Amino acid sequence: MQLRPLGDRLIVKPAAKEEMTKAGIILPDTVDKERPEHGEVIAVGPGRLLDSGSRAPISVKVGDKVVFKKYSPDEVKIENEEFLVISESDVMAVIE
């Protein structure tokens, strides 16, 4: 099954959660409860529909790693895999 975003929405695969910091500190299970703030774009919608009937192009592409607002995404679970649906306006930056 595949997700196809509509309008100016993006499907993002959240970044993997690390269980140990670089300094060797083991993170407790409660850290998993926090929502991710970055991930990789795996699908892009056609763009926001303008009043003129044309579409506004989306400024990110599939494969981009993005930083987004913490509480903006909607979580979707498909075939035991978690994805986030985010509006393009909630993306704050592309990680290069």
pLDDT tens column, 79-96: 888 999 999 999 999 998
pLDDT band at 1; cut points 50, 70, 90: low
Residue with tokens 């993002």: 12
Q: Is the pLDDT of residue 44 over 90?
A: yes
Q: Is the pLDDT of residue 52 over 70?
A: yes
Residues in the chain: 96
The structural domains of the chain, with segments of one domain joined by +, span 9-16+36-95
| pTM (two decimals) | 0.77
Question: Which among 93, 60, 89 is positioned nearest to 72, based on CA atoms?
Answer: 89
CATH homologous superfamily, domain 9-16+36-95: GroES chaperonin (2.30.33.40)
